[in-house]
Homo-oligomer: A and B are copies of this chain.
Amino acid sequence: MAGGIRVINGGTVTSAKGFEAGATFAGLKTYAEDKLDLAILLSRGATTAAGVFTTNRFKSPSVVVTQEHIADGKAHAVVVDSGIANACVGEPGYKDARRMAEKTASHLGLQPEDVLVCSTGLVGVELPMSLIETGIDRIRTTEDGGRLMARAILTTDPRPKEIAVAFDLNGETVTLGGIAKGAGMIHPNMATMLCFIATDAEVAPDFLNAMLKEAADDSFNMMTIDGDTSTNDTVLVLANGAANAGPITPGSEGARLFSAALNQVCEYLAKAIAREGEGVTKLMEITVEGAKSLQQARSAARTIAGSTLVKTAVHGSDPNWGRIVVALGRSEAEVVENKLALYINDVCIVEEGVPIPFHKDSIIAIMSGEEVSFRVNLNVGNSRATAWGCNLSEEYVTFNSAYTT
């Protein structure tokens, strides 16, 4: 997409130099077909790290421990369990998360503070620590282990989500690989999006953090499945410098390339998550342009993407533009009714705030594809943002109303 950045065929989280991963069956994810449920990502050598985390007030102690361990901007490994979220379990939650870090550290010959911990799955259930400790000991990390880890972090996502991209810098190849699991409450009582990105670039922690925050704001924070934010949402990036391409510093050409590559990885994974929510058959992309500020553009795009009524209209391939206007009208965006323009897959439907005659059947035909795009021009400013969402289907309701607890 961005100039000089290429997608690596079959790329994953271990595509960058100096990273290894491995996974095992610990016995936590009995409800899923793929039983892999415990994974480790490992970086040999000095590695900087940055993360963005859930804003939910009920935070899993796994997130708390990760935030403590990443505070120094360094990390060597990540341990992840899928099946149990380690949330709403009281005192033992924090102890168990720390124990996971300690056990992983001793298994890999690291300090506990070098290990980050992630959990996803059932809320209100304690981690079976003996299974987890035995499992950690069984994990062998390898340079092609990313694919196993991509499977092991899933709960009931239909398939792994992986990507890697590369660019040239100072005569060397810099690679970023990433994997993610879905945000949709795919299995009842499941929440959480997790994303792990590993790069062989050399980046100081503060700058890495700033670039990750920006990339996440444009991707994961612009994506909605059903509006809930989980107790465990986490995006982590580890940078080990193994590419030997020199440090990436603010304002440099390397920074421009790295930032574009990071954005591309995050956007790819965010869209894959939106596309693979439960009962989802369509990806919805909403671009709001001509807004007074970036914040207003983001709010408008996100509000439209999250509207139940827009989601059901997309499900039915219904060019029901009134619902887009209604959702837009309750967002933060300032609007002037007679300046509004609205396009469905680039066909103009509303101009100067008033519907224009369109051939309904052809719009319905356009909307029947796997991707539906809405573009709203507010014509009151110069800011622009894109959000991603999905259709709301009968299957979603059926899936999410089955007994579970």
Contact = CB atoms under 8 A, between A and B. Distances in A.
Interface of A: 55-58, 87-90, 122-124, 185, 188-189, 191, 226-231, 307-309, 312-313, 315-323, 325-330, 333-335, 337-338, 350, 352-355, 360, 364, 392-394, 396-398, 400-405
A231 B326 contact: yes
Contacts of A307: 227-228
9 contacts: A88-B337, A90-B338, A124-B321, A124-B350, A124-B355, A228-B327, A312-B401, A317-B403, A318-B402
Number of copies: 2
A322 B88 contact: yes
Contacts of A317: 403
Nearest to A315: B401
A188 B364 CA distance: 15
B326 A123 contact: yes
A224 to B, nearest CB: 10
A393 to B, nearest CB: 6
A397 B395 CA distance: 9
Q: Interface residues of A: mostly helix, strand, loop or mixed?
A: loop
9 interchain residue pairs of minimum CB distance: A316-B401, A123-B322, A312-B400, A56-B329, A58-B329, A394-B394, A315-B401, A90-B354, A57-B329
A332 to B, nearest CB: 10
A327 B188 CA distance: 14
A123 to B, nearest CB: 3
A397 B147 CA distance: 36
B56 A330 contact: yes
Contacts of A89: 354
A229 B55 CA distance: 26
